[in-house]
Amino acid sequence: MRRPHWPRRVFAQLLLSQTVVTVGVSAVTAGLFLAPVSRELDRDAMQRALSIAQATATDEVLARAAAARDTATAQRNAEQIRLATGASFVVVTDLDGIRLSHTDPAKIGFRVSTDPGPALNGRSVTAIELGTLGRTARGKVPLRLADGRIVGEVSVGISDDSIRRRLLGMATGILLCAGAGLAAGTVATLVLARRLKRRTHNIAVADISALLVEREAMLHGIREGMVALDARGRIRLANDEAVRLLALPEDSTGRPIEQALPPGRLAEILAGRIEGTDLPAVRDDRVLVVNRMATADGGAVVTLRDRTELESLVRELDTTRSLTEALRAQDHEHANRMHTLLGLLELGRHEQAAEFISEQSGSHAAVAAAIAGQVQDPHVAALLAGKAAVAAERGVRLLIAADTHLPDAAVDPRALVTVLGNLVDNALDALTGGEVEVGLRACGATLLVEVADSGPGIPPELQERIFEEGWTSKTAPAHRPRGLGLALVRRLVERTGGRIAVDRGPLGGARFTVELPEALHPDRTLAHLEAP
């Protein structure tokens, strides 16, 4: 025979367990009510027996009959009182405890089965005792003559059967109340079980545990950040990647987004005040792509993808593409120059050919020499050389300021290249021709960077807005979003304790000024200045 199994479904377990609990509670409650009721009925029966005994003891005829040991008179009067009061028995004894009356006449003349001593000594007694008539509630009082002399005792008993009949009558009401409570509890349990069945989609308890384990593994195993928010905008859950990308504090769970993140575009997106898909945002030096999806309970689930490395690769791709286009243009230009040189040689104009070669090679050497002479940091020098080629291809002159001086002493060359590269790209994008001037000056451990252009400039009302994440005046290309370069520059600068400002420069367009404290190794800078 198969053993019955505990139900697997959540609602079935709840229904069964709650029914068992309700039945148990109802039974215990009924028992707790019946126990004191039973004791109270016993006390009431003893008091009733004592009252009957006290009233019987006031009968002077009965007292004289006890003194004279007149059993006939005592039996007659005692039976009259028993029948009138409904007592189980009314027993009258003499001073020796010998019965003078009893419901069973055969027991008259015998000593009582219980101790008559306390009553014969003048005390009234109540008790539940087991005698010849079974378990009874008894009241015993001394029987006195008119002069107060004790001549016997009066013992009155109320049978246990009459007490139990009263108890059963009261128990019926108590059990009906308990049954009504049990029925109400069962109905409420059934309603809750059906509601839980809908909420849990009739899932099994074992499946809940498995789902929880799988959810934890998925949340903390995926390489995308995920944040769950409740209807009030508080963080319910954040996986490890989200904590890393957002730099959330350890006690962020349960806190509103406004307290866990600094004010800015990222907090606005997570709070739902900025809507859209694949929204770019910046957190410290990281570029994130954020998506927010509302849930049925009024909360939201936010996913985060780290595009920092991808953004860097895209920028390198843009630079490579620009360099490729510049090289292609230079290849055509070089072919034209070679044709010109060949024509001069064929025409026998050797002096003009020599002058033409010197002029062409000198222009490129001058740019390279200017960069190498003023910028000793290889990363920055390579960046400027590449940007000069891109600028030349676009018809823009990239100039190095006369007072530019940068030793090979950068603490974080990558961050410096990011800042300078974004500023130069921004200046080149603003021009269709003209000039861009770059200035780099070392002041101890502090580095000052200036990038100015001859473009239209930036209106004063937009000089703060251009640093907002996602804001741009250009059309975004398909391969990456716009509006992140200047925001990323500002975050990098502020993270190092520096500052960035924009105004109108000497070339007539915008000029970006960046101050980077502790950006250079002071000992290397000093050694470079002291070198011959």
- Least Cα distance to 440 among 523, 490, 380 occurs for 380
Q: Indicate whether 399 and 485 sit together in one domain.
A: yes
Asked, for residue 509, whether it belongs to a domain, the answer is: yes
DSSP for residue 457: -
Give the domain-ending residue among 166, 191, 207. 166
For the chain, percent of residues with pLDDT exceeding 70: 73
Q: What is the largest CA-CA distance in the chain?
A: 179
- Least Cα distance to 353 among 362, 363, 341 occurs for 341
* DSSP E strands, 295-433: 300-306, 396-400
The pLDDT assigned to 131 comes to: 67
Residue 399 has pLDDT above 70, yes or no: yes
Q: Indicate whether 386 and 302 sit together in one domain.
A: no
Asked, for residue 62, whether it belongs to a domain, the answer is: yes
Phi/psi of residue 378, each to 5°?
Answer: -65, -35
Mean pLDDT of 497-501: 86
User: Model confidence over 366-377: pLDDT tens digits?
Assistant: 666 678 778 888
Which residue in the block uniquely carries the two structure tokens 């027996």?
A: 49
DSSP for residue 475: P
Q: Indicate whether 121 and 229 sit together in one domain.
A: no
The pLDDT assigned to 451 comes to: 93
Whole domain around residue 274: which residue ranges? 222-306
What is the domain count for the chain? Answer: 3
Question: Is residue 253 classed as helix, strand or coil in its secondary structure?
Answer: coil
Element (H, E) at 236: strand 235-238
Classify strands 286-294 and 300-306 as parallel, antiparallel or unpaired. Answer: antiparallel
User: Model confidence over 174-191: pLDDT tens digits?
Assistant: 667 767 777 777 777 777
Which residue in the block uniquely carries the two structure tokens 């009924």?
A: 30
The pLDDT assigned to 438 comes to: 92
Q: Which residue has the higher pLDDT, 247 or 170?
A: 247
Tell me the average pLDDT of the chain: 77
What's the pLDDT band for 530 if we cut at 50, 70, 90? very low
User: Model confidence over 347-364: pLDDT tens digits?
Assistant: 777 777 777 676 665 555
For the chain, percent of residues with pLDDT exceeding 90: 4
Cα–Cα distances in angstroms (integers) from residue 461 to residues 93, 458, 471, 502, in the given order: 119, 8, 14, 12
Distance separating alpha carbons of residues 485 and 282, to the nearest angstrom: 10
Q: Indicate whether 514 and 397 sit together in one domain.
A: yes
410 contacts 519 by C-beta, under 8 angstroms: yes
* DSSP E strands, 272-416: 279-283, 286-294, 300-306, 396-400
Residue 166 has pLDDT above 70, yes or no: no
Q: Indicate whether 145 and 246 sit together in one domain.
A: no
Residue 479 has pLDDT above 50, yes or no: no
Least confident of 204-218, 386-400, 502-516: 204-218
- Tokens standing for residue 93: 């004894």
Asked, for residue 417, whether it belongs to a domain, the answer is: yes
Q: Indicate whether 96 and 236 sit together in one domain.
A: no
Using only the alpha carbons of the chain, give its radius of gyration: 53
Q: Indicate whether 147 and 15 sit together in one domain.
A: yes
The pLDDT assigned to 436 comes to: 92
453 contacts 512 by C-beta, under 8 angstroms: no
User: Model confidence over 436-475: pLDDT tens digits?
Assistant: 999 999 888 888 999 999 988 888 888 788 877 656 655 5
- Least Cα distance to 374 among 330, 407, 345, 416 occurs for 407
Distance separating alpha carbons of residues 64 and 68, to the nearest angstrom: 6
Asked, for residue 272, whether it belongs to a domain, the answer is: yes
The pLDDT assigned to 2 comes to: 47
Q: Indicate whether 301 and 229 sit together in one domain.
A: yes
Residue 172 has pLDDT above 70, yes or no: no
- Tokens standing for residue 280: 């770019």
Q: Indicate whether 404 and 524 sit together in one domain.
A: yes
Residue 212 has pLDDT above 60, yes or no: yes
Give the domain-ending residue among 142, 166, 190. 166
pTM (whole model) above 0.85: no
Mean pLDDT of 390-419: 83
Q: Indicate whether 148 and 265 sit together in one domain.
A: no
Mean pLDDT of 21-42: 69
Asked, for residue 511, whether it belongs to a domain, the answer is: yes
- Tokens standing for residue 436: 């861009």
Residue 406 has pLDDT above 80, yes or no: yes
Element (H, E) at 439: strand 434-443
The per-residue b/e assignment along 418-446, b for 16 or more CB within 10 angstroms, e otherwise, is bbbbbbbbbbbbbbeebbbbbbbebeebb
Asked, for residue 414, whether it belongs to a domain, the answer is: yes
Asked, for residue 214, whether it belongs to a domain, the answer is: no
Which residue in the block uniquely carries the two structure tokens 């109540």?
A: 126
* DSSP E strands, 271-328: 279-283, 286-294, 300-306
User: Model confidence over 325-334: pLDDT tens digits?
Assistant: 656 656 656 6
Q: Indicate whether 241 and 161 sit together in one domain.
A: no
What secondary structure does DSSP assign to 12-28, as a single string?
HHHHHHHHHHHHHHHHH
CATH code assigned at 478: 3.30.565.10
Asked, for residue 351, whether it belongs to a domain, the answer is: no
In this structure, the dihedral spanned by the alpha carbons of residues 180, 183, 184 and 190, taken in order and rounded to 10 degrees, is 180
Q: Indicate whether 479 and 385 sit together in one domain.
A: yes
CATH code assigned at 256: 3.30.450.20
The pLDDT assigned to 49 comes to: 85
Residue type, 76: R
Mean pLDDT of 60-66: 87
User: Model confidence over 247-300: pLDDT tens digits?
Assistant: 888 888 888 888 888 887 788 888 888 888 878 777 776 778 889 998 888 889
The pLDDT assigned to 364 comes to: 56
